[in-house]
Amino acid sequence: MSPRLILLRFLRRWHARIGFAAVLFFLILAVTGFVLNHGSDLGLDAKYVHTAWLARWYGLKAEPPRQVFRSEHHDLVAANGRWLFDGRLSGEKFPQPVGLVELTDMVVVASDTALYVYREDGELIDRLERGALPGVPVHAIGSSARKLVLRTASGTFAGADALSWQPVPRQRVVWSTPAELSAAERQAYEEALEPGISVQQLLLDLHSGRFAGRYGPLVVDLLAVLLAVLSLSGAWLFLKPRHRRERH
Amino acid sequence: MPSRLRYGFSILAVALALSAAGLARGESYQEPEAFLAEVFGSKPAPKVFWLTKEIQAEASAILGHPPAQLRQRYWSDGRKSVWILEEMGKDELITAGFVVADARIDHVRVLVYRESRGGEVRRPSFLKQFHHARLAPGTRLDRDIDGIVGATLSVGAMERMARLALYFDRKSREQ
């Protein structure tokens, strides 16, 4: 048997073996790469996966909810950057709330640097940040004579519509204060407020191999080498017999 | 180590730390209050523009997603109105101020840019394309905005905000 034929058989055999062994990984790379390429159109960065095992895998320490802010008709529990406002999840990357106040036709939640103004049904009316506030950080939020009151580093201010503010004395203000959650409530809210990983991040980590830890990228590097070997051996297998036929 | 070299390294370390901090929290180029003061001379009281169902539907069509909130604050002296809007670039929100006068964009300023790439959209050479732009039928701009290589999504966000500012200005004058 000629050395060329031996090489051809060797390449054919190993081309098939490598292709079969890596088929699952190549499919993962192809699918994650394809989806990531359209990540913005699919809104992947705004979608989150919330599962306890995934959070543990990423080393995210779940912070159990401990307190609840309650007004006459509304409640707010927060943990892990997520808010559960009247049982409705508000999204991700939310700050720790300072308090909640219910006024006529609106509910206002304060963090130390922003106010979130909601309609009675939980629709966000407005988010006011540092420039629209009378002072930051906001230390406390309360109400007095149907007005919203903020206690800030620059003083205490009141406003009826959360747009214009006047300094007021601190007396006769009902401040929003948190209440402790019972053990049963804490357990129920803990599940709902699991920390999440964005789908975009998850796909990026799967694609780069980082999902598998520090050696994952090395495995992906090896796959890249195998893909190069497959391409070259495939090209050689495709071209070589043809060359021989052309010579005859 | 010679003191001059040590001094050089210190400056480099401080510059790196500052740039890292800037990337982490986004680059703030101008505070909204300063922008308003520049336009009006002083900061006027904000006005409120409520997004009715009809306006929400049109804003959704312009943005490609529902607007984040039901009311929009703006500032106006009767002729000029200022709209400070936020829109998602690739991964982060871009905050930009739009001055609208006589139903045309007078000028635009990027106030906060939080993305790690694509910050070229804040350059005057890009922003001057919006000068005197107005709404064409179908709430599109009356002109094409030239893109920037590597900042396609930020350019798209700026264009959407420009259309929204013109649309809000038009509707606020009808209300």
Residue B162 near residue B132, CB atoms below 8 Å: no
**HEC string for A101-126:** EEECCEEEEECCCCEEEECCCCCEEE
Count of beta carbons in the 10 Å neighbourhood of residue A40: 17
Question: Is it the case that residue A105 has pLDDT exceeding 90?
Answer: no
**HEC string for chain A:** CCHHHHHHHHHHHHHHHHHHHCHHHHHHHHHHHHHHHCHHHHCHHHCEECCHHHHHHCCCCCCCCCEEEECCCCEEEEECCEEEECCEECCCCCCCCCEEEEECCEEEEECCCCEEEECCCCCEEEEECHHHCCCCCEEEEEEECCEEEEEECCEEEEECCCCCCEECCCCCCEECCCEECCHHHHHHHHHHCCCCEEHHHHHHHHHHCHHHCCCHHHHHHHHHHHHHHHHHHHHHHHHHHHHHHHHC
**Residue A175 vs residue B15, higher pLDDT:** A175
Q: Is B91 an 8 Å CB contact of chain A?
A: yes
Partners of A147 in the β-ladder: A144
Over range A162-177, report the average pLDDT: 90
* Gyration radius of chain B over CA positions: 19
Record: contact B46-A40, CB cut-off 8 A: no
Residue pLDDT, tens place only, B62-98: 999 999 999 999 999 999 999 999 998 887 899 999 9
A123, A132, A200 ranked by CB distance to B73: nearest: A132
Record: contact A124-B153, CB cut-off 8 A: no
C-alpha to C-alpha distances, A7 to A11, A240, B33, B66, B130, nearest whole angstrom: 6, 11, 74, 62, 64
SS3 B86: strand
CA atoms of A173 and A88, how far apart (whole Å): 28
CA atoms of B33 and B24, how far apart (whole Å): 23
Residue pLDDT, tens place only, B155-173: 999 999 999 999 999 999 9
Partners of B75 in the β-ladder: B82
Which of A47, A126, A200 should we substitute to test contact with B (largest number of B Cβ atoms within 10 Å)?
Answer: A126
> Residue B14: pLDDT band by 50, 70, 90 thresholds?
very low
A43, A119, A124 ranked by CB distance to B68: nearest: A124
Determine the residue of chain B that is closest to A164 in CA distance: B45
A124, A131, A161 ranked by CB distance to B32: nearest: A131
In the prediction, which pLDDT does A163 show?
Answer: 87
- The complex scores an ipTM of 0.74
Q: Is B33 an 8 Å CB contact of chain A?
A: yes
Q: Is B117 an 8 Å CB contact of chain A?
A: no
Q: Is A164 an 8 Å CB contact of chain B?
A: yes
CA atoms of A130 and A70, how far apart (whole Å): 25
Q: Taking all residues of chain A, what is their mean pLDDT, rounded to a whole number?
A: 89
**Closest alpha carbon to B46 in B16, B83, B21:** B83
Look up residue A183 and give its amino acid: A
> Residue B7: pLDDT band by 50, 70, 90 thresholds?
low
Phi, psi of A148 (to 5 degrees): -80, 135
CA atoms of A243 and B62, how far apart (whole Å): 58
Determine the residue of chain A that is closest to B36 in CA distance: A131
Record: contact B45-A132, CB cut-off 8 A: no
Q: Taking all residues of chain B, what is their mean pLDDT, rounded to a whole number?
A: 86
Q: Is B149 an 8 Å CB contact of chain A?
A: no
Which of A125, A199, A200 should we substitute to test contact with B (largest number of B Cβ atoms within 10 Å)?
Answer: A125
> Residue B26: pLDDT band by 50, 70, 90 thresholds?
low
Residue A237 near residue A11, CB atoms below 8 Å: yes
**Residue A5 vs residue B126, higher pLDDT:** B126
Over range B18-33, report the average pLDDT: 63
Chain A residues with beta carbon closer than 8 angstroms to that of B32: 131
- How many angstroms separate the most distant Cα atoms in chain A? 104
Q: Is A121 an 8 Å CB contact of chain B?
A: no
| Residues in B 47-86 with any Cβ partner in A closer than 8 A | 48, 65, 68-71, 73
Residue pLDDT, tens place only, A38-60: 887 787 877 889 888 898 899 88
Report residue B85 as tokens.
């809007």
In the prediction, which pLDDT does B16 show?
Answer: 43
Look up the pTM and report it: 0.76
Partners of A38 in the β-ladder: none
The CA distance from A11 to the nearest CA of chain B, in Å, is 41
CA atoms of A154 and A170, how far apart (whole Å): 13
In the prediction, which pLDDT does B117 show?
Answer: 85
**Closest alpha carbon to A101 in A131, A154, A138, A155:** A138
Question: Is it the case that residue A78 has pLDDT exceeding 60?
Answer: yes
Over range A75-85, report the average pLDDT: 94
Residue pLDDT, tens place only, A175-218: 999 999 999 889 889 888 988 898 989 999 999 999 999 899 99
> Residue A242: pLDDT band by 50, 70, 90 thresholds?
low
> Residue A34: pLDDT band by 50, 70, 90 thresholds?
very high
Residue A82 near residue A115, CB atoms below 8 Å: no
Question: Is it the case that residue B115 has pLDDT exceeding 90?
Answer: no
SS3 B85: strand
Residue A143 near residue A131, CB atoms below 8 Å: no
In the prediction, which pLDDT does A161 show?
Answer: 84
